[in-house]
A and B are shown apart, each in its own frame.
Chain A
Amino acid sequence: MCLAVPAEVLDIDGSTALVDMAGVKRRICIDLLDEVHPGDYVLVHVGFALQIIDAQEAQETLELLRACFQEDLHAAAAPSTE
């Protein structure tokens, strides 16, 4: 039941926001967050925004992982010197 879905904030009206959850538009309550802006991605759970997704953090960790496995792929592809 603790399922929360990422959604893009499209528009804000007082304590509610119109969000896009994978193509489904829905109005949710944003009173559990201090500040939300259009364009933010939030985690939506039972009609409430629980947290803003930190896009920069997400990007950095993904890139870190990608860098690791690309290094590994290159190492595997490189001709052995032994």
Chain B
Amino acid sequence: MKFVDEYRDPAAARYLLEQIHKLCDAPQRIMEICGGHTHSIVRSGMEQVLPEAIKFVHGPGCPVCVTPIAKIDQAIALARRPRTIIATYGDMVRVPGSSSSLLQEKAKGAHVKIVYSSLDAVRLAVENPDSEVVFFAVGFETTIPANGFSVIRAKQLGLTNFSMLSNHVLVPPVIRAVLDDPGVRIDAFLGPGHVSTIVGSQDYEFIPREYHRPVVISGFEPNDILESLFMILKQRREGRCEVEVQYSRAVTKYGNPRAQDVVKEVFSPVEQEWRGIGAIAESGLSLRKELRAFDAYYKFHDWMPLPRPEEPCECICGEITRGVKEPRECASFGTGCTPERPLGACMVSSEGTCAAYYRYQHVTIQTGGARD
């Protein structure tokens, strides 16, 4: 496929690896913020051929993994409401709440629909005028404009049976929280590629300016990531510390202004609870006050359960999400907790760190990497 295969060329990979080995003269802890990068790194098996001094620290960039249990419980409570359809992205239905999941509710007869696009949720509301359609919408900056657009469309169509249960999270505030955490040590960042197509590279300039760590915004193919590592090491070697864009075929300095306008029109910043991390000021986006008719939290406030913020005790998802621990340090990894029967959110999402480790644990140099 064009714009994919070119970035998997073995000869270029070998060249980049050689350059990385030449440049790497000290231990480097590099956080990849995005779950998509985690997946690509583990799938390609690149850690086996990189210098031992380079250590990837897996970041909090999986929206499914950071959605708090209390929010899952709210979606489940609404799924139990009569004449209510819950529309959500595929990964969300298996995330365990405090006592059930949307998939379990579906098995018991709840109307839970998996949608590919936010506009599919709007279509459900048009096609089912006698039901309430609640779009359980999660996402980072990549997904927020698309999700927000569904509210604009529903408003244009004059729909009164469409609402959104929103759990939208932002990258810069959580990076600040990670950098301010004394338990986390990071030397540089692999910046999130698709988040940056929307917000632009300008959103991360505070990282070199205030925290003196290099950032390279990377594409998702193996050679994209290798080239980004090379660029990080080159910055170190040359004594530079700045935001650079390796994924220049899709990322500009200012991002996508039209998508940013949709976000501003629909959402406003709020304090947000992150599963495993805690509350962070202005790190989430909620529907604006004037759009509360579309906000399921207010529309169905009487149905909202009291929060029971309990993690299953044997799960260390929180520490994994913060980059403090690795999946193999969890006693439940691959035994009590598997993608089929996940205990914690990191095992649910295809981009969750535990799911990536589980799926690709047999990938070795001998097997030549994972096949699609």
Contacts and interface: CB of A to CB of B under 8 A. Distances in A.
Interface of A: 1-4, 6, 8, 22, 28-29, 31-34, 41, 43, 45-48, 50-51, 53-55, 57-58, 61-62, 65-66, 68-69, 72
Max chain B C-beta neighbours (<10 A), residue from A4, A8, A33: A4
Given A2-B351, A22-B4, 11 more contacts: A1-B35, A1-B64, A1-B351, A2-B35, A3-B351, A31-B149, A46-B143, A51-B197, A53-B249, A62-B6, A72-B15
B244 to A, nearest CB: 12
Contacts of A46: 89, 116-118, 143, 146-147
B250 A43 contact: yes
Contact of B248 (A45, A47, A57, A72): A57
Contacts of B119: 29, 47
B9 to A, nearest CB: 9
Max chain A C-beta neighbours (<10 A), residue from B1, B140, B262: B1
B177 to A, nearest CB: 19
A68 to B, nearest CB: 7
Given A3-B36, A50-B142, A51-B256, A8 B2 contact: yes
B34 interface: yes
B145 A43 contact: no
A48 B149 CA distance: 10
A36 B259 CA distance: 14
Nearest to A34: B258
Given A1-B351, A22-B1, A43-B194, A50 B35 contact: no
Given A41-B3, A46-B89, A53-B250, A2 B117 contact: no
Nearest to A1: B63
A47 B258 contact: no
A46 B114 CA distance: 12
24 contacts: A1-B89, A1-B91, A1-B351, A2-B63, A2-B192, A4-B142, A22-B4, A32-B259, A33-B258, A45-B146, A46-B146, A47-B118, A47-B120, A48-B117, A50-B142, A50-B145, A51-B256, A53-B250, A57-B249, A58-B6, A58-B249, A61-B249, A62-B6, A68-B15
Interface residues of B, number: 50
Contacts of A43: 194, 197, 250
A4 B196 CA distance: 12
B140 A32 contact: no
A54 B6 contact: no
A12 B227 CA distance: 35
Contacts of B146: 29, 32, 45-48
A47 B117 contact: yes
A55 B119 CA distance: 29
Task: Please list the 4 inter-chain residue pairs (A to B) with the smallest Cβ-Cβ separation, ordered nearest first.
Answer: A47-B117, A69-B15, A58-B249, A2-B142
A1 B349 contact: yes
B70 interface: no
Nearest to B120: A47
Contacts of B250: 43, 51, 53-54
Contact of B259 (A8, A22, A50): A50
A45 B15 contact: no
Given A1-B139, A4-B142, A65-B227, A54 B15 contact: no
A30 B357 CA distance: 35
